[in-house]
Amino acid sequence: MGYALRRLGFYLLAAFASITLNFLVPRLMPGDPASAMFARFQGQMQPEAMTALRASFGLDAGSTFQQYLAYLKHVFTGDLGRSIAYYPTPVTDVIGTGLAWTLVLTGVAVILSFALGTFLGTLAAWRRGGLLDSMFPPVLAFIGAFPYFWLAMFALYLFGFVLGWFPLRHAYSYDMTPGPTFGFFLDAVHHAVLPAATIVVATVGGWMLGMRNNMIGILGSDYITMARAKGLSQKRVMWRYAARNALLPSITSFGMALGFVLSGSLLSEIIFSYPGMGYLLVQAVRGQDYPLMQGLFLIITLSVLFANWLVDITIAWLDPRTRANE
Amino acid sequence: MNSRLRAFGRNRKATFGGLILLGFAFMMIFGPLLVQDPTAFLGVPHSPPSWEHWLGTTGQGQDVLAQVVVGSRVTLLVGFAVGILVVFVGALVGVTAGYFGGWMDDILSILTNVFLVIPGLPLAVILAAYLPVGPVSLTAVLVVSGWAWNARVFRSQTLSLRGRDYVAAAVVAGERRFWIITREILPNMASLLVSAFIGTTIYAIGAQVGLEFLGLGDVGKVTWGTNLYWAANDATLLTGSWWILLPTGLCIALVGFALTMLNFAIDEVTNPRLRTERAAKANPAEPPADNAPRDKAPLPEGDPRPVLSVRHLVVEFPSDAGVITAVDDVSFEIQAGEVFGLAGESGSGKSTIGQAILQILQPPGRVARGEIHFEGADILVMNAVELRRFRWRDGSMVFQSAMNALNPVLTVGEQVADTLEAHGVVTAEEIRRRTDELLDLVDIDRKNASAYPHQLSGGMRQRVVMAIALALRPRLVIMDEPTTALDVVVQKEILQRVMKLEKELGFSILFISHDLPLMLAFADRVGILYKGKLVDVAAPGALGLAERHPYTKKLMHAFPSLTGPRSLAAPRREDGGVQAKSNVLLSIRGLHKSYKTGSGLRKRSRQVLRDVSFDVHEGEIVALVGESGCGKSTIARQVMRLETPDSGQMSFRGEDVFTNEPRRASLTYRGQVQFVFQDPFGSLNPVHTVAHHLARPLLIHGRVTRDRVRERSLELLEKVGLTPAAEYIDRFPHTLSGGQRQRVAIARALAVEPRIILADEPTSMLDVSIRLEILSLFRRLSNDLGIAVLFITHDLASARNLADRILVLYAGTVVEEGIAEEVIRKPKHPYARLLLSSVIDSRAALEAAIEAHPGSAHNADTRAACPFSSRCLQKHDVCETARPEAHLISIGHHVRCHLYDDVPGAHTDEAIS
């Protein structure tokens, strides 16, 4: 428990750092882009929108430190300003629905991919030099070298346009009303298959190779030899002795890679016009909607930090040594 | 290093990746000269590949081929630029944090970890959104969002390299920090630098393309990212113009793939186990198939039938360089209830024989010929099911390192239980009963069944391993160096336990060890292995006879003894005393040291040295003796100025060292006090030749002029017995044997012409047959050059043979000090007596009772007034309340113990101990 709290402390520090970074970036950039932005919007926006925008940047509130305090107060009360593209909807409301779609889609896809990759990696290391071990890593490395969104375009073209197996856009059909019905669930799953599959295909190779290499290290250790000498069954040695230990560094790198994978999946959401965070991100960039962009940065970062904390807790749960020290 | 480069050149993946990259380099440099203008609207939009436009046209009628070729320039340049910059920033931050440590490391690593968990793309997006568009700001954005990973990797690598002995050796030689980082640390990071660059470049290309695709790049420029941006905007998918997408995507993937292949190749070269080609057929889980068909050989004659019979066993390890025969035609038998010892040095094949019996040879090792019968059944023809039944039920094994032999994530109870389950014990009730029984058998508290291995001490873990080995009451237990990693007191305790169990349960033991004196005391018969051949088998009493094999004789004489003449003693002086005539060289008074563990609010302090005082005289050899964890290496680190003590004084030739040079040791000091490390494989830098290791101290201290360095280095090598010296000077450490490396390390220490050499267990990592040679080298240096030696060891017999005086250390306190022979013959302190009675050099010594409560220096009570009081059988009340004084009980013999408080003639001595 002490361990979990200490890690939480670190992530709170990281969260604070990213909140501060979010405040500093527009102010540190050369040529005062915030002012430049207002100059550009002059005349295009309604005066009240301009005022709201200024307020959300805290530009009216005196010295930089006072601005910072005002900004912190806004953040902690859940006020991230108003979106320009969706004016006058508050940024938090715009992000709200997108966050849910992204979390479900990416969360499920990433965990599936990790489980599959780990499983394949275990088998590949166990049967060194077998088909799985010699063929899969290079092929998956090649597929993994494509940008996620490119794979998404390719999948959409092939399975959406040419073959027509999957819907072309959005998270559910337009004639559906979102709600807890079985029909809606099926429809949402049907829409999610292609985006999720893209993420799985693009990332599974990395997990597999990582697990394979960890396993190979573990398989040379004395306790594996002893487990075999004890007359334990192959399955038991492979899973309970080898994979169980090789999993620990794999989960650590899973936590590390989470932010990276999420970034990639945001881009493929755009291809499928999936109404998640990635789609909002591109809207924000194209509409130069700075408040939305910064809100997205903050929310994505906080989600990743939270996910990393969960990963740390999982490791503590799986590794008795972590619980004891550090 | 060169061999690694060559291996890299031969690697298929490296060749493949390199060729692809070469192709792209060509395309990037010359391609744009050969294609049309990528921005010109040349043809009909969305037209498929044709003769005019080989790869078709874009949604605006531009040539796709031209766009792909020209686009490679900016994309790859930005990618490589980010790769170089990020590795530079990451290495700078990481190496700084790792090398300097302290608050600098605290701040930098928090900063790194924070940046590491902030997802890169969203950060890059807000940075890019505020910056003017273009390749330069894109590069900047990618560096800011990507440096942290590298910083972390470089920090941990630096931390691990900084802890290496060769870095400490450079510090001891007086090398400056800048040169240590650039000469000793960075060259060892070469492969990491390259793979970090490759990894970062992959990331940079991907992230750059992603940002441009989002519209955050300069959409007017032709790059691979903007190609895809326009492709998405121009309704490529709606019109089905796949040719716009495919070439750019394929190029990105090919570059990424080629870089990944290079990284795979680096991984495989640095860690050959990862290669796929090699062990293609050998499945670690299956017994080798090639020896399956075999005639059942007739049983050997004679009664009683042996439990184990090994006949003409040959074990081979095929390798790149040909087949290595690890075990060569070995035959022996073990009778019921017999303890059979296999003795030999590293590489003699003794462990391989043990593994062959249980059929757990590590691939590619295999039994090439021979038979192994267990009670008449041929183990080598057993199928998988029979083998599983044989393993552990009939023959089990106690592994050398108990920490590594236990699964760290399962409790002790679970590991006992799954052994029982695998052999048919299934009910939870029965398993619990048997587990309790087994733990009782090895004298471990039943409640430890729920403990994890890391929560137990080394001795307890070894007893757990033993309990698991006995779980199914096997008739044969193979013990592979079961006590080598343990301290003498614990070793004796464990072996006594084994003897008792063997008598009770009647199993046979195959006892594998390099420690011949121990084996002579423990085994009924001993076999001597030499280079895979069993050269001698005899009862312990017969091994010392004159007509044995020459190697047996050599081995029998390789161990210093606690009795008989001292082979390495100083030439006798008239007055019999040693220190009386010479001046005090090094004097230590009241040294205290504690280490901080944990971080932040959980910082704890552990006291390692308590009030240590002693002197070393000119030309004298002083042995510092104690178990692991007693603080003997800590003393060396203080004297070497690798660490600073909490308090205390040290004077060298009368000069107060800590007062005169408080922060860092002066060159003068370094030039007089030198160090020889325990591990000769770690104390020489693998990237440098012998010449470098000798030249640096010579140059730093200006002992010779630059043009005479080589000449002097050759002389030094001659002096330590590496002749002809010219043959050794240009070799890399990995081409030398352990003994040769230790000689180089000693030559390096001699280079500065020191007055004293500290030697920290200089022979414990070496094979027994060369230990005496190294020890006699120290004696020669002392006799011929008058160099004093502070010899740190756990081996009492070596200390007795080499040293003039002995200091016995327990839990950071010097408990006894005196002339070597006197301390060994008539130890006074209860701990010194315990230590000496734990040395097993005869059957009687093995069977004699242990004279203390269980434990080791590790779990000594450092808070008590006398740290040994919790284990002492002669403890009085005063031992817990008052710190014992050092009593002088005869000439130069001091004992720090309350037992001597009232002894007539003994008096407190303020000056020493």
Cα–Cα dist B477/B474, whole Å: 7
Average pLDDT (B239-261) is 91
Q: Which two tokens stand for residue B244?
A: 């716009």
Distance CA B861, CA B170 (A): 36
Nearest to B584 by CA among B753, B756, B746: B756
Q: How confident is the model at residue A130 (pLDDT cuts 50, 70, 90)?
A: confident
Nearest CA in chain B to A150: B249
**Count of H helices and E strands in chain A?**
14, 0
Of residues B120, B132, B276, nearest to A129 (C-beta): B276
Query: Is the confidence at residue B385, as pLDDT, over 80?
Result: yes
Amino acid at A149: F
Q: Which two tokens stand for residue B94?
A: 């990481």
Per-position DSSP letters for B174-238, written without gaps between them: T--HHHIIIIIIGGGGHHHHHHHHHHHHHHHHHHHHHHHHHT-S-TTS--HHHHHHHHHHTTHHH
Token duo for residue B797: 């017999």
Phi, psi dihedrals of residue B508, rounded to the nearest 5°:
-95, 155
For residue A198, give how far its alpha carbon lies from the nearest alpha carbon of chain B (Å): 15
* CA nearest to A306 within chain B: B117
How far does Cα A94 stand from its chain's mean position?
18
- In 3D space, the residue among B213, B241, B211, B208 whose CA is nearest the CA of residue B227 turns out to be B213
Rounded CA-CA distance A284/A33 in Å is 16
Tell me the C-alpha distance between B848 and B834, whole Å. 11
Of the listed ranges A258-272, B24-38, B325-339, the one predicted with least confidence:
A258-272
Residue B237's pLDDT is 78
- Mean pLDDT, rounded, for B95-124: 84
CA–CA separation, B845 and B822 (whole Å)? 19
- B593 pLDDT tier (thresholds 50, 70, 90): very high
Which of A270, A184, A225 lies closest to B237 in space, CA to CA? A270
Contact B253 A146 (CB under 8 A): yes
R_g over Cα of chain B: 34
Cβ pair B229, B219 in contact under 8 A: yes
Beta carbons of B656 and B838 less than 8 angstroms apart = no
Instruction: Tell me the per-residue pLDDT of B787-833, one tens digit each, with 9 for 90 and over.
Output: 999 999 999 999 999 999 999 999 899 999 999 999 999 999 999 99
Could you say which DSSP state residue B361 is in?
Answer: P
Residues of chain A contacting residue B454, judged by C-beta atoms under 8 Å apart: 320-321, 324
pLDDT in tens, B164-203: 899 999 999 999 988 999 889 988 888 889 889 999 999 8
pLDDT band at A324 (very low <50, low <70, confident <90, very high): low
* Proportion of chain B above pLDDT 70, given as a percent: 93
Return the pLDDT at B137: 87
The string of pLDDT tens digits covering residues B366-382 is 999 999 999 888 999 88
The set of long-range contacts for A90-93, using a CB threshold of 8 Å and a minimum separation of 24, is: A91/A56, A91/A291, A91/A292, A91/A295, A92/A295
Q: Which two tokens stand for residue B394?
A: 């009939």
- Over range A202-226, report the average pLDDT: 90
- Cα dihedral sign for A211, A214, A216, A222? negative
The Cα A267–Cα A270 span in angstroms is 5
| CA–CA dist B370, B381 (Å, integer) | 11
B384 close to B286: Cβ distance less than 8 angstroms: yes
The two structure tokens encoding residue B672: 């007089």
Confidence of residue A57 (pLDDT cuts 50, 70, 90): low
Distance from C-alpha of B253 to C-alpha of B364, rounded to nearest angstrom: 36
* Structure confidence at residue A168 (pLDDT): 84
pLDDT digits (tens, 9 = 90+) for B286-325: 444 444 334 444 444 555 678 999 999 999 998 777 888 9
Q: How far is CA B72 from the centre of its chain?
A: 46
| The pLDDT of residue B498 is above 80 | yes
- The pLDDT of residue B904 is 57
Strand partners, B605: B596
Question: For A89-109, what is each residue's pLDDT tens digit?
Answer: 888 888 888 888 898 899 899
The interaxial angle of helices B412-422 and B458-469, nearest 10 deg, is 10
Burial class (CB in 10 A: 0-12, 13-18, 19+), B369: middle
Of B320, B199, B263, B272, the residue nearest B13 (C-alpha): B263
Give the model's pLDDT for residue A43.
61
The pLDDT value recorded for residue B747 is: 95
Average pLDDT, chain A: 84
Selected for mutation to probe chain B from A27, A142, A226, A296 (highest B CB count within 10 Å) is: A226
Q: For residue B400, which residues of chain A lie inside 8 Å, CB to CB? A: 222
Query: Any idea how long chain B is?
Result: 913
Res B890 pLDDT > 90: no
| Predicted pLDDT of residue A284 | 84
Tens digits of residue pLDDT in A164-198: 898 888 888 877 777 788 888 888 899 999 999 99
Band of the pLDDT at A60, cuts 50, 70, 90?
A: low
Distance of CA B450 to the CA centre of its chain: 29
pLDDT at B911 over 50: no
Binary contact (B210, A267; C-beta < 8 A)? yes
Question: Best residue in B107, B118, B283, B476 to probe A by mutation, most A CBs within 10 Å?
Answer: B118
Q: Which residues of B touch A208 (CB under 8 A)?
A: none
**A12 pLDDT higher than 50:** yes
Q: In this structure, are residues B684 and B745 in contact, taking their beta carbons and an 8 Å threshold?
A: yes
Q: What pLDDT score was predicted for residue B303?
A: 53
- Give residue B800's pLDDT: 93
How far apart, in whole angstroms, are the C-alpha atoms of residue A22 and residue A291? 10
| pTM for the model | 0.84
Give yes or no for residue B705 having a pLDDT over 60: yes
Residue B396 CB contacts under 8 Å (≥ 6 apart), including other chains: A229, A230, B468, B469, B470, B471, B472, B474, B476, B477, B478
Domains in chain A, CATH or no CATH each: 98-285 (1.10.3720.10)
**Within a 10 A sphere around the Cβ of B3, how many other Cβ atoms?**
11
Task: Quote the CA–CA distance of B851 and B870 in Å, as a whole number.
Answer: 13
Q: Which pLDDT score is estimated for B569? A: 78
Q: What is the mean pLDDT of chain B?
A: 86
Buried residues in B214-244 as b, exposed as e (16+ CB within 10 A): bbbbbeebbbbbbbbbbbbebebbeeebbbb
Q: What is the mean pLDDT of residues B535-561?
A: 86
- Residue A321 or B447, more confident: B447
Nearest to A128 among B207, B236, B279 (CB): B279
Distances (CA, A) of B465 to B129, B352, B413, B486: 61, 20, 12, 14
Q: Which residues of A touch B422 (CB under 8 A)?
A: 230-233, 236
On whether the CB atoms of residues B594 and B646 are closer than 8 A, the answer is yes
C-alpha distances in Å from residue B474, one per residue of B354, B368, B419, B501: 15, 27, 13, 12
Q: How far apart are CA B400 and CA B385, in angstroms?
A: 27
A99 and chain B in contact, CB less than 8 A:
no
pLDDT digits (tens, 9 = 90+) for B409-448: 999 999 999 999 998 888 999 999 999 999 988 888 899 9
Average pLDDT over every residue of B779-791: 93
Q: Give Rg (Cα) of chain A.
A: 24
Mean pLDDT within A142-163? 89
Q: For residues B478 and B379, is the Cβ–Cβ distance under 8 A?
A: no
Q: What is the pLDDT of residue B857?
A: 63
The pLDDT value recorded for residue B903 is: 65
Nearest CB to B122; choose among A156, A245, A263? A263
Residue pair A67/A58 in contact (Cβ under 8 Å)? The answer is yes
Which comes out higher in pLDDT, residue A287 or B705?
A: B705
Cβ–Cβ under 8 Å, residues B224 and B38: no
What is the pLDDT at residue B334? 95
- The residue-averaged pLDDT of B5-9 equals 79
For B683-692, give one letter per residue: b (16+ CB within 10 A) or e: bbbebbbbbb
d(CA B227, CA B55): 13
Rounded CA-CA distance B367/B289 in Å is 10
* pLDDT band (50, 70, 90) for residue B852: confident
Q: Does A92 touch chain B (CB under 8 A)?
A: no
Closest residue of chain A to B208, computed from CA coordinates: A147
Identify which of A154, A241, A301 has the shortest CB distance to residue B122.
Answer: A301
Q: Is the dihedral of CA B7, B11, B13, B16 positive or negative?
A: positive
Q: What are residue B587's phi and psi, to 5 degrees?
A: -130, 125
A vs B, Cβ pairs < 8 A, gives 260
The answer on pLDDT for B283 being more than 50 is no
B724 by DSSP, 3-state: which? coil
CB atoms A231 and B274 under 8 Å: no
B8 Cβ contact list (under 8 Å, min separation 6) = B14, B265, B266, B269
Q: In chain A, what residues touch B236 (CB-CB under 8 Å)?
A: 153
| Residue given tokens 């500093």 in the structure block | A24
Within 8 A of B455 by CB-CB distance, chain A residues are 324
- For B905, phi and psi rounded to 5 degrees? 95, -30
Residue B4: which pLDDT band, with cuts at 50, 70 and 90? confident
Tokens matching residue A187: 């429809």
CA dist A2 and B119 (Å) reads 26
Token pair recorded at residue A259: 């932010």
Q: Best residue in A5, A122, A127, A150 to probe B by mutation, most B CBs within 10 Å?
A: A150
pLDDT tens for each residue of A26-50:
777 665 555 656 666 666 666 666 6
Q: Which amino acid type is present at position B165?
A: D
In this prediction, residues B87-102 reach a mean pLDDT of: 88
β-strands B813-819, B886-890 pairing: unpaired
Residue A231: list chain B partners with CB under 8 A.
387-393, 419, 422-423
What's the pLDDT score for residue B629? 82
CB-nearest to A259 from B117, B125, B273 is B117
Residues on chain B touching A227 (C-beta within 8 angstroms): 407
Neighbours of B899 (CB within 10 A): 18
